[in-house]
Amino acid sequence: MQFSSRELRDLLIAWVALGFAFSLLYVPVSATTMADVLVSQTFAFEFGLSLATVGVAFLLHELAHKLVAVHFGQHAEFRADFGMLALAVAGGLAGFLFAAPGAVHHRGRITPREHGLIAVAGPLTNVALAAVSLGLLTVFPDLAWRGLFINVLLAGFNMIPFGPLDGRTVLDWSPVAYAAAAVPTIGPALFLFFG
């Protein structure tokens, strides 16, 4: 798999911006405390934890899309959405977060099945990362719990069959494949978020 310098830059910026935005949820700042909080050990810990969990979940989700697209002969590259990244950071400052950091764009001839498999690769990667996180709960509880939470949410959210989300593409390809992927992703995400 090859990466352009622009793609590597976009991946790095999105990874750092997401880590920063999520850190702000766990270490709230105000205009008067921002300078002190951002240099604190607590913020540094949360930033590192967010990079290792949210950031890795996002990176591997997008790289899974790219890997499968390239496997099917596509030219595929990640492009950051800088407006959405700014919104994520602003949301983190305000105490809520909606993150859509960008997407892998691919081009070339593919079948609906191949397009569906490219789409489902990201959420299934998050399912695998959630399983790894579950296995690490007794060894690294902070890292594992955050990893489990974010990967379950990412998998479930992305399988919603709406707009540009992965679930819409999978459902367009195959309702059976969609059901097989949606049940183990959306259900646990709803449980974690509302339960």
Known catalytic residues? 62
- Determine the 3-state secondary structure of 125 from DSSP: helix
d(CA 24, CA 17): 11
Alpha helices in the chain (DSSP H): 5-26, 34-38, 41-50, 56-71, 82-94, 112-135, 141-158, 166-173, 175-194
CA distances from 113 to 72, 94, 125 (A): 11, 41, 18
Would you say 65 and 158 are in contact if contact means Cβ atoms under 8 Å apart?
A: no
- Following CA atoms 43, 56, 164, 177 in sequence, which dihedral angle do they give, to the nearest 10 degrees? -140
Residue position matching structure tokens 């998998």:
155
